[in-house]
């Protein structure tokens, strides 16, 4: 008997938008129902917008906003969280509409309300601005999930306090929650909810009709009841939900047991173990060979049960695999699907070669040109991660692999952090988050890792490749270091060019503000080289090293002056 296919998120979607007594329909609504990986990673997006108050370009504003949201949301990285992706797009739309509305008198005031709903996995997320509304019908009860952004006015109907394009800055309301089977969502413009009210809407949604019929019935009921505005209703019924879990990956992986400890020659799921590559406190890394094809892979798994790994480590391994699958770049090992998998692990492509740490151990002496080239390639790989909102957090020679094919690859996402990780899902660290000697000074003060700390680690790596030393000395685990000025690398290697020394000192500067802001800026400094060298202070100014020094000097000067005055008075 074949295993049934896993259930997917399935919905019934319908909408109706009527002009009503208005000369023009300024509402706009639409939805996107993708399939496959796009459905899993980004979900289903629907939205309703209402152009502001009878303005000549109200329809243009609402249609542009909804169409652009649907297009641009699905272009954001899969590693971004849903609220982050919505916010990036909606804030950009606000900037465009606001700037456009100020270009000419006939477009002044061009703005729109917006209510967007994303269903992904077994959860929903709402992004909302203005007075369009999102309702949920569940278990015979209608719940309003959004709040209206309006000012109360004694002479006028409610006046919008927030809308897309109304002001230069925009604050978007976000809400989320769990989905349940048979949930029904209603997105409605004020012409609908303001005319019918919640009790009538509840009765109409309780008729258990198809989404198309329900949306048409609600919009027509509003116009028949004397609505004085455009009437738009979008109805979404949840028909089927996918399994629980972290993007389905965690649901599939967490049910699998860790494999037993393996030795060379043993076979697991059609994979023969060739050698043990690495063993840490929690993880095991093997080189394996497919018995059928003879192709080599890297297998990463957890220690067997009872040897230290727990449920949180399982979630962390699933998260690592999820991140790795989304990095389509030759600068990283690629995840390999293995249908025969019966245990907790994932496979990556195998590449002959050695890490840069191994090259150093074998006594290789890198020239300045070689080290600069390897750093350039590292930065290009890191830029791929940063564009996906992923921070590596453990850049070092051990995690940089120079293949026999000449390509440098960035390894090990075991402690990588992503903005796309849901806040409610907390993972244990498979390894310590970073290696002390490569960690930026601010990390020891408890600040979170970011792009700047990754670039700092690249700078330390470049420094070590050339000098076999660390700019602030070696830092042991659990040590709380004090950072002064980094030692100039020419102290160990006088043959390092001045321009490259300047690049290194900027990369490993103690203060984040003194470092490179992006991988691209770091790359540009290396590419310009001696043609346009950086100007970097070799020592931190005294007042920056000791901010209290000025007050100390002032206090000393005051004491000397007072002593002098007392002496003069006594002499008289």
Q: Which residues, including other chains, have CB under 8 Å from residue 438's CB and lie 6 or more apart?
A: 394, 395, 396, 456, 457, 460, 461
- More confident position, 427 or 129: 129
Report the range of poorest mean pLDDT among 224-238, 484-498, 531-545. 531-545
Mean residue pLDDT of the chain comes to: 88
Nearest to 41 by CA among 311, 388, 413: 388
**How confident is the model at residue 563, as a pLDDT?**
79
Strand partners, 10: 240
Of 38-47, 302-311, 313-322, where does mean pLDDT reach its minimum? 302-311
Distance, CA of 532 to CA of 527 (rounded, Å): 9
Which pLDDT score is estimated for 552?
A: 67
- d(Cα 298, Cα 372) in Å, to the nearest integer? 29
The answer for residues whose C-beta is within 8 angstroms of residue 456's C-beta and 6 or more apart is 438, 439, 440, 507, 508, 515
pLDDT for 2 equals: 43
Work out the percent of the chain whose per-residue pLDDT is above 90: 66
Contact 360/465 with Cβ under 8 angstroms? yes
Q: Residue 71 belongs to what H/E stretch?
A: helix 58-73
Residues 273-288: pLDDT tens digits? Answer: 999 999 988 899 999 9
459 vs 470: CA distance, rounded Å:
10
pLDDT at 432 over 80: no
Q: Among all chains, which residue has been given the structure tokens 């979404």?
A: 236
Higher pLDDT residue, 6 or 352? Answer: 352
Has residue 208 got a pLDDT over 70? Answer: yes
Interval 446-474: pLDDT, tens: 898 999 999 999 999 999 999 999 999 99
- Classify residue 514 as exposed, middle or buried by CB count within 10 Å of its CB (0-12, 13-18, 19+): middle
- Model pLDDT for residues 36-48, shown as the tens digit of each residue: 889 988 999 999 9
Checking if the pLDDT of 312 tops 90, the result is: no
Buried b (16+ CB within 10 A) or exposed e, 195-234: bbeeebbbebbeeebebeebbbbbbebbbeeebebbbbbb
What is the phi-psi region of residue 430: left when phi exceeds 0, alpha when psi lies from -120 to 50, beta otherwise? alpha
Structure confidence at residue 44 (pLDDT) = 97
| Cα–Cα distances in angstroms (integers) from residue 159 to residues 150, 203, 233, 261, 368, in the given order | 5, 29, 22, 67, 65
Tokens 């770049």, located at residue = 329
- Look at 548 and 266; give whichever has higher pLDDT: 266
Extended strands (E) in 359-424 = 390-391, 400-403, 408-410, 417-418
- Rounded CA gap, 381 and 392, in Å? 11
The per-residue pLDDT for 100 is: 85
pLDDT given at position 431: 43
CB 325 within 8 A of CB 300: no
- Reported as a pLDDT band with limits 50, 70 and 90, residue 484 is confident
Q: CB under 8 Å, gap of 24 or more: what pairs does 244-250 form?
A: 244/122, 245/121, 246/315, 246/318, 246/319, 246/322, 246/422, 246/425, 247/40, 247/41, 247/121, 247/322, 248/6, 248/40, 248/121, 249/318, 249/319, 249/321, 249/322, 250/314, 250/315, 250/318, 250/319
Averaged over 353-363, what is the pLDDT? Answer: 96
Q: Is the pLDDT of residue 34 over 50?
A: yes
**What is the rounded CA–CA span in Å between residue 457 and residue 445?**
16
């Amino acid at each position: 008997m074949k295993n049934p296919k896993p259930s997917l998120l399935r919905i019934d979607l319908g909408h109706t938008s009527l002009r009503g007594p208005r000369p023009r329909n300024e509402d706009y609504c639409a939805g996107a129902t993708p399939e496959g990986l796009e459905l899993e990673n980004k979900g289903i997006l629907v939205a309703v917008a209402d152009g502001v108050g009878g303005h000549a370009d109200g329809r243009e504003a609402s249609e542009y906003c909804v169409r652009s949201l649907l297009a641009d949301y699905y272009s954001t990285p899969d590693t971004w969280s849903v609220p982050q992706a919505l916010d990036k797009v909606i804030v950009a739309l606000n900037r465009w509409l606001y700037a456009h509305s100020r270009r000419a008198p006939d477009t002044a005031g061009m703005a729109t309300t917006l209510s967007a709903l994303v269903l992904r996995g077994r959860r929903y997320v709402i992004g909302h601005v203005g007075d369009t509304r999102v309702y949920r019908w569940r278990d015979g009860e209608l719940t309003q999930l959004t709040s209206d952004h309006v000012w109360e006015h004694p002479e006028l109907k409610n006046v919008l306090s927030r809308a897309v394009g109304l002001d230069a800055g925009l604050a978007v309301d976000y809400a989320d929650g769990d989905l349940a089977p048979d949930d029904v969502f209603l997105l409605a413009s004020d012409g609908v909810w303001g005319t019918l009210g919640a009790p009538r809407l509840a009765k109409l949604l309780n008729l258990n009709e198809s989404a198309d019929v329900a949306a048409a019935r609600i919009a027509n009921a509003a116009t028949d009841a004397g609505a004085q505005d455009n009437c738009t209703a979008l109805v979404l019924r949840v028909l089927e939900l996918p399994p629980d879990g972290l993007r389905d990956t965690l649901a599939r992986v967490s049910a699998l047991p860790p494999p037993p400890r393996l030795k060379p020659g043993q076979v697991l799921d059609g994979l023969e173990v060739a050698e043990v590559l690495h063993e840490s406190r929690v993880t095991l890394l093997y080189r394996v060979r497919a018995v059928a094809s003879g192709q080599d892979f890297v297998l990463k798994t957890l220690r067997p049960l009872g040897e230290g790994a727990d449920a949180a480590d399982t979630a962390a391994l699933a998260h690592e695999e999820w991140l790795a699958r989304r990095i389509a770049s030759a600068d990283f090992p690629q995840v390999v699907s293995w249908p025969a998998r019966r245990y907790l692990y994932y496979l990556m492509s195998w590449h002959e070669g050695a890490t840069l740490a191994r090259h150093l151990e074998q006594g290789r002496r890198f020239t300045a040109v070689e080290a600069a080239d390897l750093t350039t390639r590292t930065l290009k790989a890191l830029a791929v991660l940063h564009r996906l909102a992923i921070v590596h957090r453990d850049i070092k020679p051990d995690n940089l692999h120079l293949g026999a094919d000449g390509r440098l690859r960035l390894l090990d996402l075991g402690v990588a952090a992503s903005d796309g990780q849901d806040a409610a899902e907390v993972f244990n660290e498979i390894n310590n988050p970073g290696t002390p000697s490569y960690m930026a000074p601010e990390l020891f003060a408890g600040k979170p890792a970011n792009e700047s700390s990754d670039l700092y680690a690249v700078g330390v790596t470049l420094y070590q490749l050339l000098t076999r030393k660390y700019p602030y000395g070696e830092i042991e685990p659990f040590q709380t270091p004090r950072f002064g000025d980094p030692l100039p690398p020419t102290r160990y290697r006088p043959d390092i060019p001045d321009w490259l020394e300047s690049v290194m000192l900027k990369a490993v500067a103690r203060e984040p503000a003194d470092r490179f802001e992006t991988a691209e800026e770091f790359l540009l400094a290396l590419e310009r080289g001696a043609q346009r060298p950086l100007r970097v202070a070799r020592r931190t100014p005294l007042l920056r090293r000791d901010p209290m020094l000025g007050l100390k000097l002032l206090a000393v000067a005051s004491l000397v002056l007072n002593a002098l005055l007392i002496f003069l008075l006594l002499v008289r």
